[in-house]
Amino acid sequence: MRDFDLLLPESLSEAIDLLANHKDKSAVLAGGTDLLVALKFNYAVDNVISLALVPGLDELTYDPAEGLTIGAKVTIAQILKFPAVREHYPALWQAAKIFTTPQLRNTATVLGNILRASPAGDCSLALYALGGTLTLQSTSGQRQVNLDDFWISYGVTARRDDELAVSLTVPAPGAGQKSAFRRMTRTTEDLAKINAAVCLQMDGGKCTGARITMGCVGPTLIRLPKVEKMLEGADITPDLLQGISQAVASEITPIDDIRSSADYRLKVAGILVKRVINLALNEGNTP
Ligand SMILES: Cc1cc2nc3c(=O)[nH]c(=O)nc-3n(C[C@H](O)[C@H](O)[C@H](O)COP(=O)(O)OP(=O)(O)OC[C@H]3O[C@@H](n4cnc5c(N)ncnc54)[C@H](O)[C@@H]3O)c2cc1C
């Protein structure tokens, strides 16, 4: 690993000042499960700004009107143990449940997963389907960025170098909201070969709104607008699901990589989306 200075701010304002002073010569360290791996390979920064001693970034709250708030230091394990996530956001709970090993779940943060901007991120994908807004803070103040506008290209986000992501809010679910997440992997310790999440607004058997997201099928996590349109205003019948399953391949651009092949991903993507929709409908909010 290359040498770097480990900076340990003890307040949010100190962390923000350090980011302002060091900008592109620094990286934020939350759990470090991505960052330390990157620093061992091709990534070089002069300063690593750890959040370890920064207070006030641990908020994990649910309010029926405001929704879910996740602070920058909230780990995947905390998400898994938080009853409101299991009850109201099953897609996120399911993504946290399959997230690799207990050691990693106790260390890795949800916001780190989002900031890493991996096209395979499990919790990021579930949150993309559920919808969410990041709060970014710098010395010039705070701004909000919707996840729909956050991932720009592989590893690149809308975050500026001097900004710290302090929290994410996820809207409270409406009455008929159903969500689910699934992934295909080689082993549970491995990243996904392909993953999918859905969030459906249901009025009886009719779908009134849909957000369908997929990972490992492009340079960023993606939504499937054509499939979302097929669902919106429709009764979800076996015929519709068959049509959706066939349409998915036209919306994705997978590549061959160490985890899978483009051909495999193209073949299974439609089946995975159909399964995740069925899972959301059949298990609803009881994962
Ligand atoms: C063995 C192993 C297994 C893994 N399995 C999975 C898996 O099953 N599913 C999955 O999705 N991922 C997996 N990962 C990837 C990783 O664990 C996750 O992406 C994790 O959520 C990253 O969180 P972290 O807190 O460790 O982030 P860090 O490594 O601390 O940071 C990740 C990136 O985000 C930036 N960052 C972090 N927090 C902030 C902030 N508040 N503001 C600004 N920038 C910030 C960092 O500078 C860095 O660029 C795995 C990694 C390993 C090593």
CA distance 46 to 3: 7
pLDDT digits (tens, 9 = 90+) for 231-251: 999 999 999 999 999 999 999
Number of the ligand 1 atom closest to the C-alpha atom of 164: 42
DSSP code for 276: H
pLDDT at residue 284, as a whole number: 52
pLDDT at residue 287, as a whole number: 40
pLDDT digits (tens, 9 = 90+) for 68-86: 999 999 999 999 999 999 9
DSSP code for 250: G
DSSP code for 249: G
DSSP code for 227: H
**CA distances in angstroms from 36 to 42, 89, 113, 115, listed in the order given:** 11, 30, 14, 14
In the chain, pLDDT over 70 holds for what percent of residues?
99
Number of the ligand 1 atom closest to the C-alpha atom of 35: 29
CA distance 29 to 6: 9
29, 99, 101, 115, best to mutate for ligand 1 pocket (most atoms within 8 Å of CB): 115
pLDDT digits (tens, 9 = 90+) for 165-183: 999 999 999 999 999 999 9
pLDDT at residue 203, as a whole number: 96
* CA-wise closest residue to 215 among 173, 169, 167, 273: 273
Task: Take residue 275 and report the two structure tokens written for it.
Answer: 């399964």
List the alpha helices (DSSP H) in the chain.
12-22, 35-40, 76-81, 83-88, 90-97, 102-107, 110-116, 122-130, 225-231, 238-247, 262-283
CA of 108 to the centre of ligand 1 (A): 6
Residue 130's Cα: distance from chain center in Å? 10
CA of 64 to the centre of ligand 1 (A): 29
* CA-wise closest residue to 195 among 97, 112, 82: 97
pLDDT at residue 69, as a whole number: 98
Mean pLDDT of the chain: 95
Phi, psi of 19 (to 5 degrees): -65, -40
Closest protein CA for atom 5 of ligand 1? 100
> How many other β-carbons are positioned within 10 Å of the β-carbon of residue 12?
17
CA of 190 to the centre of ligand 1 (A): 14
On the question of pLDDT at 285 being above 80, the answer is: no
Closest protein CA for atom 40 of ligand 1? 165
Closest protein CA for atom 28 of ligand 1? 32
CA of 237 to the centre of ligand 1 (A): 38
Pairing of strands 47-50, 5-7: parallel
| Tokens 């780190």 -> residue | 112
Number of the ligand 1 atom closest to the C-alpha atom of 72: 41
Number of the ligand 1 atom closest to the C-alpha atom of 166: 41
CA of 32 to the centre of ligand 1 (A): 6
pLDDT digits (tens, 9 = 90+) for 32-68: 999 999 999 888 899 999 999 999 999 999 999 999 9
Q: Please, what are the domains in the chain?
A: 5-50 (3.30.43.10), 60-170 (3.30.465.10), 177-283 (3.30.390.50)
The model scores a pTM over 0.95: yes
Pocket of ligand 1 (CB under 6 A): 27-35, 37, 72, 99-100, 104, 108-109, 111-113, 115-116, 121-122, 164-165, 189, 191
Phi, psi of 5 (to 5 degrees): -90, 130
pLDDT at residue 286, as a whole number: 43
DSSP code for 75: B
CA of 107 to the centre of ligand 1 (A): 9
37, 100, 114, best to mutate for ligand 1 pocket (most atoms within 8 Å of CB): 100
